[in-house]
Amino acid sequence: MIFFKAMSIFGILADAIMMGEKVKLDIDFVREQFPQSNEDYVYCSNAGGSFVARQVLEILEDFNRYKRIQPYSPFSPSREGGELMDRARGLWADALNIKEDELTFGPSTSSNSYVMAQAIGPTLTKQDEIVVCQQDHEANHGAWRRAGERSGATVREWRLLPETGLLDTADLYELLNEKTRWVFFPHCSNLVGTTNPVRDIIEEIRNRCDAFVGVDGVAHVPHHVPDLKALDCDLYLFSLYKVFGPHQGVLYVRSSVGDKLVAQSHHFLTKEPTKRFNPAGPQHAEVAACAGVLDYFRSFMAHHNIVEHDSFNHALQEVRRLFAIHEKKLATPILEFLRQSSKVQLLGKPHCEDGDRAPTIAFRPLKQASEQVTRKMNMLGIGAEHGDFYAGRVLKGMSIDPSDGVVRISLVHYNTEDEVNTIVAGLDRTLAG
């Protein structure tokens, strides 16, 4: 019996080792899922908007061709249109490990944050304080700052480290006190690229004060779909058009928190959690097509032998692992080149380990304008960008002129190592003069 048990354990371990060797990201399969893929041009501006997965395009076309009427009536095709929209909500709730009535689809993250600022603002008083983060995109900063200022609340800012753009959590904790009502910060900066330890930060906030926490996930979710229940945040926002999907923003509001805020809808919808924070109303085809992102992930899982055992979100963590391994291979040569160059100032960490840095890489050229560097790279067939990327507060905090900004190279899992070689060669040629 002991022999057979040992053999069984050995077999399990052997299978695990074999799977570890076998399962790696199949870049050819991935590229086939994105019709926009182009071998003649390197697209490295994904942080501004990704390619759209084939599965998303198929839902959009089907909905617009055959179901483009007011949904949710009992007749066909109205009924089927509503069912497709409900399917998208259910899939994303499972993916994020939240309840369906905690999820709202809106036009974009910027739009969703402005709506939520109107919902949160009236709940603040002159005795309250909120904390915003200098490292954030304006979508998770300006609206909250204005809401605080209008209410008379004190607005405090968690400042970044000027040399690198990174954050020191000790600086945040010094800002917290019994008056703190909300804290807003990014899961990952769209310029600095470093993944912040959100769960640990939230846990420490809970220990120090009775504040709600809002997290900007726009730059993070393209690389890792989070478990929001495990994060324990009260509000989370991200944009699906940067996660291989349609132009929609996803808004999570914890049920118990949403009930305390001021609804931003028609008076007869204020008791409906999925509608009270979406005054624009749903964009029917786009909402339905949000499911296509997760259809793509499930296709990716099937191709890479990833099995859903206990939950969709747990399976997505294995997807994240494959993404992270591949994206590290993409980011490392570029980071290494820029780290060794005396002609640039690199933002964020100069290395990428265990998913602690997205392959979103920004730098300031020291001897040329950012616009000039980007133009030269574009002429070499490399689709990089320059500017402040709606994160001008980051640049000001690092004493970088936002009017010229920085050069940004942003990659995702469908980029290839050959493309990275082209990018590095282009940087070498461009920065040489």
Spatial contact of 189 and 372, defined as CB atoms under 8 Å apart: no
Helix axes 109-120, 142-151, angle to 10 degrees: 20
Please identify every stretch of the chain with a pLDDT value under 50, giving residue numbers as ranges: 1-21
* Furthest-apart CA atoms within the chain: distance in Å: 73
Q: Domain residues of the chain, as ranges? A: 23-53+313-431, 57-294
Pairing of strands 103-106, 129-133: unpaired
Using DSSP's 3-state secondary structure scheme, residue 253 falls into strand
Q: What is the pLDDT of residue 11?
A: 37
Bridge partners of 131, per DSSP, are 156, 183
Token couple for 104: 């709202």
Q: What is the pLDDT of residue 22?
A: 55
- Fold adopted by 23-53+313-431: Aspartate Aminotransferase, domain 1 (3.90.1150)
Is the four-CA dihedral 161, 193, 294, 84 of positive or negative sign?
A: positive
Pairing of strands 42-43, 382-383: parallel
**Using CA atoms, how far apart are residues 260 and 131, in angstroms rounded to an integer?**
19
Q: What residue type is 262 in one-letter code?
A: V
Spatial contact of 420 and 335, defined as CB atoms under 8 Å apart: no
Cα–Cα separations (whole angstroms), residue 319 to 14, 93, 298, 299, 301? 22, 17, 9, 11, 7
Q: What is the pLDDT of residue 184?
A: 99
Please tell me what DSSP assigns to residue 101: G
CATH number for region 57-294: 3.40.640.10
Verdict on whether the full-model pTM lies above 0.85: yes
Domains 23-53+313-431 and 57-294 share a fold: no
Q: What is the pLDDT of residue 10?
A: 36
User: Could you read off the pLDDT of 130-172 as tens digits, one per residue?
Assistant: 999 999 999 999 999 999 999 999 999 999 999 999 999 999 9
